[in-house]
Amino acid sequence: MSITESSESVFTTEEEESFSARYSLWIKEALDELPHNFTITDPFIPGHPIVFASPGFLKMSGYSREEVIGRNGRAFQGPKTNRRSVMEIREAIREERPVQVSILNYRKSGSPFWMLFHMIPVFGKSDGKVIHFVAVQVPISGQEHHRKMRNGSGLSGDMSDYSEMMFGSCRREVCFGHLVHQDRALPVEFDEQELENWEHCEASESEKLRAAEAISNVLSVLTRYSEFSGRLVCGKRYCLRGADCLSSSLVISLGRIKQSFVLTNPCLPDMPIVYASDAFLTLTGYKRQEVLGQNCRFLSGVDTDSSVLYEMKECILEGQPCTVQILNYSNRKDKSTFWNLLHISPVRNASGKTAYFVGVQVEASCRNTESKELRPETRQLSVVGAVRVAVRSSFMVTC
């Protein structure tokens, strides 16, 4: 509902790289040729944005490609979108598993439509990491309701005989009479206000089949083009994620935190950075690929006080939080230095073991002392808290 004209309609490099890193040339052209309505999202880019939208999807939603790329799938939801479906999709992403569910979405024009949403994770074959999520959307034609209504007892609006289970048959609040007279042209001439009031809309078997078929076609294109690049993707997880690789759900949760911070993994040699926030990259002037896998010491320089570094090391060894002020060297254009008010805390996973250290940076000169804001110390600690919640739960996945 909320996609509006945006000045930043040009694809960012991250969204481009999301594809070029994995697939050979012409992947997008190959995907363009598929007739299905689908989007591909990258959970490792903050905000979990759409990195590809098929022509069919654009036609169905009424948006241009520029308006869709970089947006999160939630942008198509609206006031009457059924919350249970939203929850199911959220949980499937969190657990990195497929899901097939009907959901009420909205076109650019604001008109609602029911569709069958079928999503799968795509994994890297060698590292078990989720590369993308592919989501196929099949509009629900309404033919099925038609049939179900005929089978029902009364068509005059007495709905009480219907099973009203959320996952049962299609139903809506008011009455069905109107719908019965409609036939093949349903999606076009349908009273849209009515559509919104449906609590659930079950797709037909043939629609479910079509969705599954589309998924398999998209997946086979992705697989083929990843073969050419030598970095294979697949629809099944062949191996467990490596220790240096965060789950996509953790990355999505961390992406909500807009301040500068990194996660480092103390279980890996030299305690490398395994996550860096966008704000950290802005603050330090480095690119994500330049910092991931590195120890934080690249931020230090000749004038950095070694006693502060020692103090930090001690705290990390003891598993204690600490706050220091330290001179850091940026990679910004002017290669400037800055005073970093740095807070470090150990972060435990669901088993209660320290899984990461979080380092939250506040540039000392930029300390916001505006009276209507949170104190900088509180803001800094709020990052620690948000990271703790995200890490603790990301290790509690059932599957």
Partner 1 sequence: MLKIKRVPTVVSNYQKDEAADESVGCGRNCLGACCINGARLPLYACKNLEKTGAGEKLVLSHEAKEPPVAFLESLVLGEWEDRFQRGLFRYDVTACETKVIPGKYGFVAQLNEGRHLKKRPTEFRVDKVLQSFDGNKFNFTKVGQEELLFQFEAGEDGEVQFFPCMPIDPENSPSVVAINVSPIEYGHVLLIPRVLDCLPQRIDHKSLLLALHMAAEAANPYFRLGYNSLGAFATINHLHFQAYYLAMPFPLEKAPSKKMITTVKSVKISELPSYPVRSLLFEGGNSMKDLSDTVSDACVCLQNNNIPFNILISDCGRQIFLMPQCYAEKQALGEVSPEVLETQVNPAVWEISGHMVLKRKKDYEGASEENAWRLLAEASLSEERFKEVNDLIFEAIGCSNQEEEPEGTIVHQQNPSGSVNQKSNRTHGGPITNGTASECLVLQ
- Which residues inside 116-175 make contact with partner 1, applying CB under 8 A? 157-160, 164-167, 173-175
How many angstroms from the chain centroid is the CA of residue 211? 21
Q: Which stretch binds partner 1 (CB under 8 A): 23-31, 144-152, 187-195, 379-387?
A: 379-387
- Ranges of H-type helices in 33-101: 55-61, 65-68, 83-95
- Nearer residue to partner 1 within complex by CB, 288 or 392: 392
Q: Shortest distance, CB of residue 298 to partner 1, whole angstroms?
A: 27
Q: Shortest distance, CB of residue 132 to partner 1, whole angstroms?
A: 16
- Which residues inside 3-42 make contact with partner 1, applying CB under 8 A? 3
- State the Cα–Cα distance between residues 392 and 347, nearest whole angstrom: 8
Beta strand 273-276 pairing with 261-264? antiparallel
- Nearer residue to partner 1 within complex by CB, 138 or 254: 254
Ramachandran region of residue 149, left (φ > 0), alpha (ψ -120 to 50) or beta?
A: alpha
Instruction: Tell whether residue 384 is a contact of partner 1 (CB under 8 A).
Output: yes
The DSSP line for 374-398 is PPHHHHHHHHHHHHHHHHHHHT---
Query: Binding marks (x or -) toward partner 1, 79..118, rule CB under 8 A?
Result: x---x---x--xx--x------------------------
- Nearer residue to partner 1 within complex by CB, 82 or 226: 82
Instruction: Tell whether residue 62 is a contact of partner 1 (CB under 8 A).
Output: no
Token look-up 């093949």 returns: 184
Instruction: Kindly list the distances between the CA atom of residue 181 and the CA atoms of 89, 150, 271, 275, in Å, as whole numbers in the listed order.
Output: 33, 11, 67, 56
Instruction: Tell whether residue 396 is a contact of partner 1 (CB under 8 A).
Output: yes
Token look-up 């940076």 returns: 361
- 7 half-sphere exposure, CB direction, 13 A CA radius: 0
Residues whose CB is less than 8 angstroms from the CB of residue 11 and which lie 6 or more positions away in sequence, other chains included: 66, 69, 70
How does DSSP classify residue 28?
H
- Nearer residue to partner 1 within complex by CB, 157 or 293: 157
Q: Which stretch binds partner 1 (CB under 8 A): 74-82, 121-129, 233-241, 300-308?
A: 74-82
Q: Shortest distance, CB of residue 311 to partner 1, whole angstroms?
A: 16
- Which residues inside 225-284 make contact with partner 1, applying CB under 8 A? 252-253, 255-258
Residues that bind partner 1 (CB under 8 A): 1-3, 46-49, 71-72, 74-75, 78-79, 83, 87, 90-91, 94, 157-160, 164-167, 173-175, 199, 252-253, 255-258, 321, 345, 347-348, 350-352, 371-375, 377-382, 384-386, 388-390, 392-394, 396-398
